[in-house]
């Protein structure tokens, strides 16, 4: 086959253009730090990248869910702790009243203190996190306890359909965020506290709801201990779930590290290798320019200049 000067020139320009394209590719990889900038560069890498990014997005969503669980559980734990301290104080006051060491004025002062403790417990029961009531199960839009004498617990607080506020922490796995409200802020608890007020101060408004003559401190102390026992059991259950939450958090953190590493291995460019390839391509390009200058013969126009 006859090789003409135009064929040599065209092939030389074609090869130089391909050399420029390769240098542009390496330059782009160095600038972006990525193997590809468009799916057409490597469809396999692009498809894997979409899959790995989906997994990473899922892990990040689970991390946000874990943060919400921590918020609910830690606020629940704080509320239970504060309620327990209030009930412990009420128990001390009941024992004082039972021993007969208090005069009527002292008992009236005790009744006033118990009333304030009860109001504080009501405010705890109606605690909100991000505008949602955390002690009312899935019914987060309504307060579980209404103030009054005695305070009235919502009628649906014992409804099993609204008890659990579940949050997904991994694929197919959910954890309950809330406590069982009926075990902590049941109607019996507030009735017992109101009866104690009535027993301490027969002239109080609480005595209009419960006849002090029918009340004795031994029975009230038993009812109070029962409520505190229920509170302690719920706190233990919450602690067990919190421990599991920490284990899930540790596993999710490990998954995030792995997902980022796999994504990086798939998409990130090997900078050292790219630099070497770019230097090699620059050397080849210079050589191609030198060879092209020698094999392309001068034309008549070159002599006329």
Question: Cβ neighbours of residue 300 under 8 Å, at least 6 residues apart?
Answer: none
Q: Determine contact, residues 167/69, Cβ cutoff 8 Å.
A: yes
Q: Are 103 and 44 in contact (CB under 8 A)?
A: no
Nearest partner of 82 among 152, 184, 223, judged by Cα: 184
Q: Is the pLDDT of residue 2 over 70?
A: no
**The token pair that represents 138 in the structure block:** 């899935």
Say whether pLDDT at 305 is over 60.
no
Most confident of 39-43, 197-201, 270-274, 280-284: 197-201
Does the predicted model carry a pTM greater than 0.85? no
How would DSSP label each residue in 15-32? HHHHHHHHHHHHHHHHHH
Q: What is the pLDDT of residue 208?
A: 84
Q: Nearest-CA neighbor of 164 among 188, 140, 143? A: 140
Residue ranges of E strands in 120-184: 128-129, 132-133, 145-146, 152-153, 166-170, 173-176
Question: Which structural domains are found in the chain, ordered by start?
Answer: 51-264 (1.20.1330.10)
In angstroms, the Cα distances linking 119 to 34, 91, 97, 248 are 61, 16, 21, 37
Residues 66-124 pLDDT 10s: 988 899 899 999 999 999 999 999 999 888 887 777 788 888 888 899 999 999 999 99
Mean pLDDT across 219-225: 90
Q: Chain-wide mean pLDDT for the chain?
A: 83
Range in 30-34, 171-175, 194-198 the model is least confident about:
30-34
C-beta of residue 15 within 8 angstroms of C-beta of residue 288? yes
Q: Residue 274's Cα: distance from chain center in Å?
A: 39
* Residue 276 reports pLDDT greater than 90: no
Decide: helix, strand or coil at residue 3. coil
Main-chain dihedrals φ then ψ at residue 135, nearest 5 degrees: -110, 30
CA distance 82 to 217: 24
Q: Reply yes or no on whether the pLDDT at 267 is more than 80.
A: no
């Amino acid at each position: 086959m006859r090789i003409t000067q135009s064929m040599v020139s065209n092939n030389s320009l074609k090869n130089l253009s391909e050399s420029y394209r390769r240098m542009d590719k390496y330059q782009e990889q160095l600038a972006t730090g990525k193997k590809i900038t468009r799916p057409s560069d490597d469809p396999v890498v692009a498809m894997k990248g979409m899959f790995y990014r989906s997994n990473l997005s899922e892990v990040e969503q689970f991390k946000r869910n874990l943060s919400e669980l921590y918020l609910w559980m830690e606020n629940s734990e704080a509320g239970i702790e504060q309620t327990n301290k209030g009930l412990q104080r009420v128990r001390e006051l009941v024992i004082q009243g039972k021993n007969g060491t208090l005069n009527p004025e002292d008992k009236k002062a005790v009744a006033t203190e118990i009333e304030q403790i009860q109001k504080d417990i009501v405010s705890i029961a109606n605690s909100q996190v991000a505008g949602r009531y955390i002690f009312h199960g899935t019914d987060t839009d309504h307060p579980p306890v209404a103030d009054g004498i005695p305070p009235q617990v919502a009628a649906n607080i014992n409804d099993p359909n609204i008890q659990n506020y579940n949050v997904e922490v991994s694929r197919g796995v959910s954890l309950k965020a809330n406590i069982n409200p009926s075990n902590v802020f049941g109607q019996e608890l507030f009735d017992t506290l109101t009866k104690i007020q009535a027993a301490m101060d027969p002239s109080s408004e609480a005595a209009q709801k419960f006849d002090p003559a029918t009340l004795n401190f031994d029975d009230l102390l038993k009812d109070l201990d029962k409520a505190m026992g229920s509170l302690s059991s719920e706190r233990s259950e919450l602690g067990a779930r919190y421990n599991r939450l920490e284990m899930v958090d540790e596993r999710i953190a490990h998954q995030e590290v792995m997902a980022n590493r796999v994504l990086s291995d798939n998409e990130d460019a090997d900078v050292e290798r790219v630099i070497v390839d770019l230097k090699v391509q620059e050397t080849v390009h210079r050589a191609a320019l030198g060879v092209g200058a020698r094999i392309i013969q001068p034309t008549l126009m070159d002599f006329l200049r």
